[in-house]
């Protein structure tokens, strides 16, 4: 069993919670970031994890001061962060001509600025340790665009280029950075999509189904673990073949 530590942003539910479960099942310590409320007891029971192996950190990643505080407290808890998973993200969809400046900025605040603040704090810490892995959740939308998601597409594309830049800067310190680009995964985020549109999407997926959060979690775990020590700067899709 591993005795390593992972910090996962936005891990209260959805893909983030399944990523937490995957690392926990492999013996890792968990640092769970959440934005609003979380029932810690239920979370611990759901993951069947020993209380001593988990810490919860409330914080809005779009606020640099909250991210700094979260990293200080998180590092204090287990002394070391081996892996950061930039999972937290939001959507505020609208056609480009109707998109408000406010909604455009809100999505970039979380999905770009928030990821940058976390990358920066993790990089400072990992550089001292001369090891680490940063896995950031982008999206198929960041690679190919999507109607109604000009803000989200911009943000997820930015994550890919930030990931490549960071991978170059940190490689000499033995720190790897990779992106996962999920297609359509069954979570609250895709639950919002109208049934009619869901059918249209499924028709475009070669595997004819939405993915499950654990499909993403398995790849994130691989990229975080020592199974992938010579992989850096990559973007790997988990999309049922949608991007072929």
Ligand X SMILES: NC(=O)c1ccc[n+]([C@@H]2O[C@H](COP(=O)([O-])OP(=O)(O)OC[C@H]3O[C@@H](n4cnc5c(N)ncnc54)[C@H](O)[C@@H]3O)[C@@H](O)[C@H]2O)c1
Query: Pick from 108, 189, 201, 202: which binds ligand X (CB under 6 A)?
Result: 189
Q: CA 227, 1, 86 angle in degrees (round to 5)? A: 55
Select the span of 59-67, 100-108, 162-170, 196-204 touching ligand X (CB under 6 A): 59-67
C-beta of 1 vs 244, nearer to ligand X: 244
Minimal CA–CA distance to 7: which of 220, 213, 167, 158?
220
Binding mask 128-167 for ligand X (x = CB under 6 A): ---------x-x----------------------------
Token couple for 130? 């001369």
* 34, 43, 117, 152: the active-site residue: 152
Active site residue 152: yes
Q: Which residues of 161-172 are buried (b: 16+ CB within 10 A; e: fewer)?
A: ebbbebbeebee
Return the sign of the alpha-carbon dihedral for residues 179, 125, 32, 153: negative
Identify the residue among 6, 15, 126, 134 touching ligand X (CB under 6 A). Answer: 15
Q: Which is nearer to ligand X, 2 or 40 (CB)?
A: 40
* Closest C-alpha among 41, 48, 49, 39 to residue 12: 39
The nearer residue to ligand X, 24 or 33, going by C-beta atoms, is: 33
Q: Could you tell me the CA-to-CA distances from 217 to 72, 88, 103, 238 in Å, in that order? A: 26, 14, 29, 10
According to the binding rule CB under 6 A, does residue 240 interact with ligand X?
A: no
Q: Which residue's CB is nearer to ligand X, number 29 or number 187?
A: 187
Please spell the DSSP secondary structure of 161-215, one letter per residue: HHHHHHHHHHGGGTEEEEEEEE-SBSSHHHHTS-HHHHHHHHHH-TT-SPBPHHH
Stretch that binds ligand X, among 70-78, 88-96, 117-125, 217-225 (CB under 6 A): 88-96
Residues that bind ligand X (CB under 6 A): 9-10, 12-16, 33, 35, 60-62, 87-90, 110, 114, 137, 139, 182, 184-185, 187-190
| Residues known to be catalytic | 152
């Amino acid at each position: 069993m591993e005795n390593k530590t992972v910090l996962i942003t936005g891990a209260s539910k959805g893909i983030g919670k399944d990523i937490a479960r995957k690392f926990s099942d492999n013996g890792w310590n968990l640092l769970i970031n959440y934005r609003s409320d979380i029932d810690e007891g239920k979370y611990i029971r759901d993951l069947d994890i020993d209380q001593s192996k988990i810490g919860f950190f409330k914080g809005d990643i779009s606020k640099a001061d909250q991210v700094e505080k979260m990293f200080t407290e998180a590092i204090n808890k287990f002394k070391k962060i081996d892996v950061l998973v930039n999972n937290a993200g939001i959507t505020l969809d609208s056609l480009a001509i109707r998109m408000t400046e406010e909604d455009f900025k809100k999505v970039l605040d979380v999905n770009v600025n928030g990821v940058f603040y976390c990358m920066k704090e993790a990089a400072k810490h990992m550089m001292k340790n001369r090891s680490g892995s940063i896995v950031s959740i982008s999206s198929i939308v960041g690679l190919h665009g999507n109607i109604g998601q000009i803000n989200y597409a911009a943000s997820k594309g930015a994550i890919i280029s930030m990931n490549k830049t960071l991978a170059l800067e940190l490689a000499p310190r033995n720190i790897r950075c990779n992106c996962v680009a999920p297609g359509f995964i069954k979570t609250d985020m895709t639950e919002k999509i109208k049934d009619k549109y869901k059918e249209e999407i499924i028709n475009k997926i070669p595997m004819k189904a939405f993915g499950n959060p654990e499909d993403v979690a398995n790849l994130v775990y691989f990229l975080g673990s020592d199974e992938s020590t010579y992989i850096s700067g990559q973007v790997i899709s988990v999309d049922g073949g949608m991007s072929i």
